[in-house]
């Protein structure tokens, strides 16, 4: 006899809850259909379900996301970098405490090498006919960020390739939940040979409308932000446990039937977040207007906050991080989140005077302010003008840090944002020594400085 197994997968939702009612309704309906037909159905999420740019995720530190996955009946998940490196270690430990599903993750450990209690290096699910499904999973290698938060992270591709043969010996079908990215998934399929039957991919937001095959491995991927739901269908010989047929597809969520709460679901979560984060944090004595295209009172205030927090000599960042300003009076956690929703950490880059000169000149590119920046933690619209704090040209053309000219071989502490250390805007920053400040976000730095200056409300 043969058994049909349906695997539905989501990835990189990034808390785009406006898509979730259609996804939830679709998955619940498909599960009912398959059960009525005597077919097996599993639901997996491949990470980055949460994103602290959404106020509900921020207010619940992701626990709300876990509950949403539980309510939809997901059978297993792995984590992405948004779960792993935008939460403090205790908050990540709490994220899945008592979760109704296994968190399949083999490459994350505490500093002492022990595995967190909420994570499973492998998991097994059994169908009604006795076919045993093995699961392994891993998340992307953000070594420096994980180490700053007190974690150790192993190379995900190496870990999965080593684990696959042993786990495969314990099951009929091996499925990998991979938050590594498309290139790494291809490499795993090549290295693992026949051990991995299915790889469900994420992280690089790629879409495989009909799947991708490398050898005997079928790879599925469903894009980002809830735009698609993926499905992998397997036909398994129940006598031998062998996969004798497989296919993949994706469903565009815009084409799915909208449920009753299609428009109200996200709005309701935002209202709940406004209540949870509604208490004033400090009282602002005077307005701090912001601007994306020129320095402003808000950028001056934040520049001081950033320099003090990081003990920097100077600072440089983009004004597009400000999505408004701060009015006079009580400022709540919700106000701060709306102002700076980005999951961006402050960072110090250590560079000599010559390198600082080069970075300063690069930052003056007239095209940068209008760039519509997407990703890298940025959740605004345009990059905005570059703000330079204690960093400017004197009348004689010399670059000054504070009131002193830059010396070519002297070492300077430049405060900036982690998004500038990945090499896209300042290629040299990727290789230079850096200090990341985690788990605090830039809005936390602003909050800390305001409380220091004005006291708590």
3-class DSSP string for 139-155: ECCCHHHHHHCCEEECC
Specify whether the CB–CB gap between 6 and 30 falls below 8 A: yes
State the residue for tokens 């398959």.
34
Phi-psi region of 324 (alpha: psi -120 to 50; beta: other; left: phi over 0): left
pLDDT tens across the length of the chain (457 residues): 899 999 999 999 999 999 999 999 999 999 999 999 999 999 999 999 999 999 999 999 999 999 999 999 999 999 999 999 999 999 999 999 999 999 999 999 999 999 999 999 999 999 989 999 999 999 999 998 999 999 999 999 999 999 999 999 999 999 999 999 999 999 999 998 789 999 999 999 999 999 999 999 999 999 999 999 999 999 999 989 999 999 999 999 999 999 999 999 999 999 999 999 999 999 999 999 999 999 999 999 999 999 999 999 999 999 999 999 999 999 999 999 999 999 999 999 999 999 999 999 999 999 999 999 887 888 889 999 999 999 999 999 999 999 999 999 999 999 999 999 987 899 999 999 999 999 999 999 999 999 999 988 6
Half-sphere exposure of 106 toward its Cβ, with a 13 Å CA cutoff? 22
DSSP state of 421: G
- pTM for this prediction: 0.93
Specify whether the CB–CB gap between 139 and 179 falls below 8 A: yes
d(CA 372, CA 290): 18
Specify whether the CB–CB gap between 9 and 46 falls below 8 A: yes
Decide the pairing of beta strands 103-104 and 119-120. parallel
Specify whether the CB–CB gap between 319 and 294 falls below 8 A: yes
Number of H helices, E strands in the chain: 13, 25
Which strand (E) or helix (H) includes residue 157? helix 156-168
d(CA 316, CA 20): 38
């Amino acid at each position: 006899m043969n058994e049909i197994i349906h695997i539905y997968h989501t990835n990189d939702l990034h808390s785009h809850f406006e898509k979730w009612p259609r996804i939830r309704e679709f998955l619940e309906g498909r599960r009912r259909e398959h059960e009525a037909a005597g077919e097996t159905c599993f639901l997996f999420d491949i990470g980055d379900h949460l994103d602290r740019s959404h106020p509900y995720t921020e207010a619940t530190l992701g626990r709300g996301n876990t509950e949403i996955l539980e309510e939809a009946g997901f059978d297993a998940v792995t984590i992405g970098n948004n779960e792993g490196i935008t939460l403090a270690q205790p908050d990540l430990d709490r994220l899945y405490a008592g979760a109704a599903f296994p968190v399949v993750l083999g490459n994350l450990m505490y500093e002492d090498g022990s595995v967190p209690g909420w994570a499973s290096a492998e998991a097994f699910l059994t169908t009604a006919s006795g076919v045993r499904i093995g699961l392994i999973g891993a998340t992307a290698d953000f070594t420096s960020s994980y180490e700053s938060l007190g974690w150790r992270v192993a190379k995900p591709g190496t870990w999965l390739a080593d684990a696959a043969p042993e786990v495969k010996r314990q099951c009929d079908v091996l499925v990998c939940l991979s938050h590594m990215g498309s290139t790494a998934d291809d490499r795993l399929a090549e290295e693992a040979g026949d051990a991995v039957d299915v790889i469900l991919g994420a992280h690089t937001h790629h879409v495989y409308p009909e799947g991708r095959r490398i050898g005997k491995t079928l790879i599925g991927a469903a894009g980002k932000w809830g735009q698609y739901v993926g499905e992998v269908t397997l036909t398994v010989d129940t006598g031998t446990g062998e996969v004798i047929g497989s296919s993949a597809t994706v469903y565009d969520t815009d084409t799915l039937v909208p449920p009753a709460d299609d428009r109200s679901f996200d709005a309701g979560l935002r209202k709940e977040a406004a209540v949870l984060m509604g208490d004033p944090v400090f009282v602002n004595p005077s307005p701090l207007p912001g601007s994306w295209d020129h320095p402003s009172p808000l950028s001056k205030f934040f520049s001081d906050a950033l320099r003090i927090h990081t003990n920097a000599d100077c600072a440089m960042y983009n004004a597009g991080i400000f999505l408004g300003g701060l009015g006079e009076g009580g400022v709540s956690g919700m106000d701060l989140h709306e102002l700076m929703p980005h999951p961006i950490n402050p960072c110090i880059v250590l560079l000599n005077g010559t390198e600082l000169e080069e970075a300063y000149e690069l930052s003056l590119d007239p095209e940068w302010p209008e760039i519509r920046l997407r990703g890298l933690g940025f959740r605004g619209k345009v990059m905005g003008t570059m703000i330079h704090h204690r960093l400017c040209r004197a009348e004689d053309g010399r670059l000054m840090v504070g009131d002193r000219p830059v010396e070519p071989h002297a070492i300077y502490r430049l405060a900036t944002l982690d998004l500038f250390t990945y090499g896209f805007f300042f290629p040299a920053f990727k290789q230079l020594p850096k200090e990341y400040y985690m788990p605090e976000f830039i809005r936390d730095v602003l909050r800390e400085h305001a409380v220091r200056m004005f006291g708590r409300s």
